[in-house]
């Protein structure tokens, strides 16, 4: 069974994806980390984030073992990720890895922006997770504070609005719900309620 979870920045899709994967005992891939890793490695190598060929070379040699680096979760790397994610060659280079991950025996859960539309258009269940921007910013702010990252709420709100705009307006695999995705608005839901709602949507889709 393949489950696609998409949605805008800090919508809680990562947390939901992990909980759903645990429930169905499936492997889980946070595809945002791939784009974040490309941004990190392009910057470390001293290239500009809009350098297509440098970003492509990095995307082709991404080491999945490096995806647990806590540096990937910083706002700076997130912003860079949305810049390299606009490059079609980078997206194409990361596609095989994502599709192979999804094709594992038993299936997988993947979260991102284009899982339901491009990476796994045939997924058994697709959820597009949204929430009002101020609520998403507050949740992300609280995460950063818990990790002692020096951030302000206003900067986080501006960051997610800028990334959403970039991700939704790019030509290559723009962020949008698949035609057959279920929408889940978590503005007024805590994580337990969002999880219950997501499980209900998936069960209905797969006929459980």
Distance in Å from the first CA to the final CA of the chain = 12
Nearer to ligand CDP, 36 or 126 (CB): 36
Q: Is 112 in the site for ligand CDP (CB under 6 A)?
A: yes
Q: Is 90 in the site for ligand CDP (CB under 6 A)?
A: no
Region of 8-16, 41-49, 63-71, 147-155 interacting with ligand CDP (CB under 6 A)? 8-16
Instruction: Report in angstroms how near the CB of residue 172 gets to ligand CDP at its nearest.
Output: 9
- Number of residues counted as binding ligand CDP (CB under 6 A): 16
Q: Is 114 in the site for ligand CDP (CB under 6 A)?
A: yes
Binds ligand CDP by CB under 6 A, chosen from 113, 117, 144, 186: 113
Region of 110-118, 180-188, 189-197, 200-208 interacting with ligand CDP (CB under 6 A)? 110-118
Dihedral sign of CA atoms 190, 192, 196, 199 in order: positive
Binds ligand CDP by CB under 6 A, chosen from 9, 21, 49, 54: 9
The helix or strand, by DSSP H or E, that contains position 25, with its residue range, turns out to be: none
Sequence-distant contacts of 20-25: CB under 8 A, at least 24 apart? 20/109, 20/195, 20/198, 20/199, 20/202, 21/108, 21/109, 23/199, 24/109, 25/106
135-to-19, 29, 143 alpha-carbon distances in Å: 21, 24, 13
Count other C-beta atoms under 10 Å from residue 199's C-beta: 16
Instruction: Report in angstroms how near the CB of residue 208 gets to ligand CDP at its nearest.
Output: 26
Q: Is 26 in the site for ligand CDP (CB under 6 A)?
A: no
């Amino acid at each position: 069974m393949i489950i696609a979870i998409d949605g805008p920045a800090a919508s809680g899709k990562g947390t939901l994806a992990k909980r759903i994967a645990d429930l169905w005992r499936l492997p889980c891939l946070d595809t945002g980390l791939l784009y974040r890793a490309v941004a990190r490695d392009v910057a470390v190598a001293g290239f500009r984030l809009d350098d297509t060929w440098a970003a492509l070379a990095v995307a082709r040699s991404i080491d999945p073992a490096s995806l647990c680096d806590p540096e990937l979760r910083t706002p700076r790397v997130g912003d860079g990720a949305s810049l390299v994610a606009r490059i079609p060659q980078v997206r194409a280079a990361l596609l095989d890895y994502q599709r192979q991950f999804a094709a594992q025996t038993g299936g997988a859960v993947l979260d991102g922006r284009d899982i339901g539309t491009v990476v796994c258009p045939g997924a058994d269940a697709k959820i597009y997770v949204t929430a009002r921007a101020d609520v998403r910013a507050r949740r992300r702010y609280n995460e950063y504070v818990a990790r002692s990252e020096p951030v302000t709420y206003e900067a986080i709100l501006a960051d997610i609005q800028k990334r959403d705009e970039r991700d939704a307006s790019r030509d290559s695999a723009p962020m949008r719900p698949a035609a057959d995705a279920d929408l889940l608005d978590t503005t007024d839901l805590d994580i337990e309620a969002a999880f219950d709602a997501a499980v209900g949507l998936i069960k209905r889709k797969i006929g459980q």
